Amino acid sequence: MDRRQRKTREAIFDAFTELLSKKDYSQITVGEIIEKADVGRATFYSHFETKDFLLKELCEELFCHIFDTANEQNSGHRHIFSCDAPDSAFLHLFQHLKRNDNNIAFLLSCRNNELFLGYFKKDLKLLVENQIEIFESRKSNLLPQDFWVNHITSVFVETVRWWINNGMKESPEKITSYFFLSV
């Protein structure tokens, strides 16, 4: 993707994020997005087939660099985030939340959060599955693996929710330790 396309895409993401901060997802129209992003309808549709695809791609862009880095799928780290990734993918997630990169903390706590949490949980489950050895010593042999992965994912999501709702006072390192202690 060339620089012009990236800038257009970022303008659309920014416009969409701003609209999401004010309205429910179902009430936002493509017309409002293109007006706020200052792009043409054809330009919008050359990047995204529908508003649903825009939502899906926004979520993927927000979360995938962390998951890709943890899975070593993208050593170039060329997503809309820029950072030095720590060893722990979970700490990495909390660091981005604390910095509120691309309003990610807001998106996970706003009235549209179930949409974002759904995409987040899907990718987070894959991350947990790829990092499952970290948690194996805590797992009871009585628990099925898919239950265990779902449990870890749910604990992480609820930790994020609690942290955001309480003003994110704890450092990313501290909240990461809370997460590991609670699994």
**Over 80: is that where the pLDDT of 69 sits?**
no
What CA–CA distance (Å, rounded) separates 139 from 18? 41
What CA–CA distance (Å, rounded) separates 133 from 140? 13
**Contacts of residue 121, Cβ cutoff 8 Å, sequence gap at least 6:** 153, 157
Rounded to an integer, what is the distance from CA 9 to the centroid of its chain? Answer: 17
List pLDDT tens digits, range 79-110: 444 556 567 888 888 887 887 665 666 666 66
